[in-house]
């Protein structure tokens, strides 16, 4: 362990995008992250300039929709990685027990092992928690499921643990690699995994899950609908309650079966009639 480490603070003018940026950063920075209301802190013993450059590039593709400030500091190393690991505890979400590899599995739960780069994509975040709860209710094991924006692969893993066949996709190549690694970590197999989105799906699915952000759910609405079979289910999450209407107004042709809210985050379960 070196005597110094780098700390990059990413502050966003709009807190709506914190989750989106945090997920992106988690997949390019393998070290611990900390998420605040409107900021993300990245810590590493390696120079973090590449993270700032990557986030700046991502923000540029969104046409200036995200205003971001960066602060880079060099600090004394106090074994923050060990402190971070000690701060991550297992979590129960419905039928599932999500735990890092330094904990033991639970006999009375469906176990999913995830070594998180941060408490996101690991069941700790409200959107992931609600999606896992919905999966426990609606996935019975005979379905073919598509996880759009799969990130760590945790939602696809939950479906697979219940016996479903699973396809996954993400536009971030590092997320695709992370997903592949987590399936291997859990000794599970997927059917297809690709870099891209729902528009590249070759067929239709019994259940489509998209835990992204409201703006993207609205943008890819036609792809998600097209990928869902008639009488199939569409589980949408990553929706801030104040942006819920922007999503619901473009899915009015689907039947809303359930609305879940945890903190300020909303998950919607639709049926394609």
- Please answer whether residues 154 and 116 qualify as being in contact, where contact means their C-beta atoms are separated by less than 8 angstroms: no
Residue keyed to tokens 């008639």: 230
List the chain pLDDT tens, one digit each, 273 residues: 556 888 899 999 877 788 888 888 887 775 667 888 889 998 888 889 999 999 998 888 777 678 899 999 988 776 666 666 676 778 898 899 999 888 899 999 999 998 765 434 455 678 889 999 999 999 999 999 999 999 889 999 999 999 999 999 998 888 898 899 999 999 999 999 999 999 999 999 999 999 988 999 999 999 999 999 999 999 999 898 989 999 999 999 999 999 999 888 999 999 999
CB atoms inside a 10 Å sphere around CB 107: 7
Please report the domains of the chain, with CATH numbers, ordered by start residue: 4-84 (3.30.70.270), 125-271 (3.40.50.150)
Cα 195-200-206 angle, rounded to 5 deg: 105
CA distance 189 to 270: 27
| Residues found in the chain | 273
3-class secondary structure, 103:
coil
3-class secondary structure, 19:
helix
pLDDT number for residue 31: 60
pLDDT number for residue 253: 96
**Ramachandran assignment for 63, one of left (phi > 0), alpha (psi -120 to 50 degrees), beta (any other):** left
DSSP 116: -
Ramachandran angles phi, psi of 256, nearest 5°:
-80, 115
CB atoms inside a 10 Å sphere around CB 248: 18
The helix-helix angle for 126-138 and 154-161 (nearest 10°) equals 20
Ramachandran angles phi, psi of 259, nearest 5°:
-120, 125
């Amino acid at each position: 362990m070196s005597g110094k480490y780098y700390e990059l603070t990413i502050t966003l003018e709009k807190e709506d995008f914190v989750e989106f940026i945090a997920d992106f950063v988690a997949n390019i920075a393998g070290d611990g992250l900390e998420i605040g209301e409107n900021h993300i802190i990245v810590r590493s013993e390696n120079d973090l300039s590449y993270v700032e450059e990557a986030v700046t590039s991502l923000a540029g593709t969104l046409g200036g929709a995200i205003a971001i400030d960066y602060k880079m500091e060099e600090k004394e190393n106090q074994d923050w990685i060990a402190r971070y690991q000690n701060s991550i505890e297992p979590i129960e979400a419905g039928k599932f027990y999500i735990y890092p590899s330094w904990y033991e599995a639970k006999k009375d739960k469906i176990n999913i092992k995830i070594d998180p780069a941060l408490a996101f994509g690991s069941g700790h975040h409200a959107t992931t928690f609600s999606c896992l709860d919905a999966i426990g209710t609606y996935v019975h094991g005979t379905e073919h499921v598509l996880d759009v924006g799969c990130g760590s692969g945790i939602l696809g893993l939950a479906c697979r643990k219940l016996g479903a066949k699973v396809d996954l996709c993400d536009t971030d190549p590092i997320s695709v690699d992370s997903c592949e690694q987590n399936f291997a970590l859990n000794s599970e197999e997927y059917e297809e995994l690709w870099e891209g989105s729902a528009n590249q799906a070759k067929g239709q699915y019994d259940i489509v899950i998209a835990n992204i952000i409201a703006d993207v759910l609205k943008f890819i609405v036609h792809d998600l609908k097209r990928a869902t079979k008639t009488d199939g289910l569409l589980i949408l999450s990553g929706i801030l309650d104040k942006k819920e209407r922007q999503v619901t107004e473009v899915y009015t042709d689907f039947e809303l079966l359930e609305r879940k809210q945890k903190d300020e985050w909303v998950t919607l379960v639709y049926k394609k009639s």
